[in-house]
Amino acid sequence: MRVLAIETSCDDTAAAVIDATGVRSSIVASQDLVHGPYGGVVPELASRQHVLAILPVIERALATAAITLADVEAVAATHGPGLVGSLLVGLQVAKGIALERGLPFIGINHLEGHLLAIFLEREIEFPYLGLLVSGGHTSLYVVEDLGRYRLLGRTRDDAAGEAFDKGAKMLGLGYPGGREIDRCASAGDRAAVHFPRATLKSGGYDFSFSGVKTALRQYLLEERGAPLADVCASFQEAIVDMLAAPTLRAAHDLGLETVVISGGVSANRRLRARMEEEGARAGLTVLFPRFAYCTDNAAMIGYAGRARLLRGERHPLTLNAAATAPIGLPDTLPHAAEAGHA
Ligand code: KG4
Ligand code: ZN
């Protein structure tokens, strides 16, 4: 089944063609230049930009796959979670194509797309531990099967990507902040500044990133003057520590041997190096999708969409966009306790 997939949940306009042979094309039009001057995504500008970009992006995805709309057999689009104005653009275009051509349509959860992105490159066995780290989410799931995601823990406040973005803004770096901090940190001393690591008092798997963000603000107010690269490296190290510790602990506690890290923050080079190193020491296989499939893309939506369509799932064209759309099955574990700051 040849699927056209569309993703417009935030600030990237993306389309992809997926078939039995894999990814035939994956096109992403970034809006970084539009939002850069504001240091974060401006929702109204994002939806307007999607309106301008969506048709050319779809045309390029079809052309790169060397097909036309007549060759498309089904349509998948992200329906949530995300910015509703942004989601609506991709979703409406997808539904329009499905209606006009009489094709099956399916709406896909953006988080499911990230959690399954690894399958774009390799087959892996269920269950695995999925750490989803993006601009809006930091959550840990047991991925039991396609459509079965048990939520183990999530951030109590900011997402890791949000902490990177807000931190970068404070440091006068560009947008998206995580990428800029990653770049700047490579020449820095990770031990130059000690930023606090949030700790969970009762051994759950929740995360907290607001403390480290406040600590950075305080550090900058005090003008203690460490070189920018050192501040970036130290700030990044604190975030990486706070992502790695609960993830490795959960893998150990639940006896899961494979950890898959996805979402925009999984492009972070230090997170990748640390998780690979510590995972190997703990006897775990730690996997990351390639960079292009870590950040937002439509190929991952195409993978999830095609898998569900092949199971016979369809959505009616009345499917609406949803700002929040949790995917986790009820957490059967004792819930994580208050986050404290060490
Ligand atoms: O998954 P994504 O592309 O969009 C959302 O669904 O949110 O994630 C975007 C987030 C942003 O917060 C951005 O700063 C972060 O991913 N990011 C990074 C890196 N590249 C992107 N964070 C840390 N290191 C990176 N190299
Ligand atoms: Zn995302």
Polymer length of the chain: 342
Instruction: Check: CB of residue 322 under 8 Å from CB of residue 81.
Output: yes
- Calpha distance 147→144 (Å, rounded): 8
pLDDT at 336 over 80: no
Edge-to-edge strand ranges of the sheet holding 285-287: 285-287, 258-262, 128-133, 138-145, 148-154, 328-329
Which residue has the least CA distance to atom 3 on ligand 1?
295
Average the pLDDT over 304-331 and give the result: 91
Q: What is the pLDDT of residues 100-120, one digit of tens each?
A: 999 999 999 999 999 999 999
With a 6 Å cutoff on the Cβ, whether 177 touches ligand 1 is yes
Q: What residues have a C-beta under 5 A from ligand 2, the ion?
A: 134, 296
With a 6 Å cutoff on the Cβ, whether 204 touches ligand 1 is no
Average pLDDT of the chain to the nearest whole number: 93
Q: What is the pLDDT of residues 175-217, one digit of tens each?
A: 889 999 999 999 999 999 999 998 766 678 999 999 999 999 9
Q: What is the pLDDT of residues 245-285, one digit of tens each?
A: 999 999 999 999 999 999 999 999 999 999 999 999 999 99
Dihedral, CA atoms, 327, 106, 306, 101, nearest 10 degrees?
-170
Q: What is the pLDDT of residues 134-180, one digit of tens each?
A: 988 999 999 999 999 999 999 999 999 999 999 999 999 988 899 99
β 3-7/128-133 pair status? unpaired
pTM over 0.85: yes
DSSP string across 43-99: HHHHHHHHHHHHHHHHHHHHHHTT--GGG--EEEEEEESS-HHHHHHHHHHHHHHHH
Which regions of 159-281 does DSSP assign to beta strands (E)? 198-200, 258-262
Cα(313) to ligand 2 centroid in Å equals 23
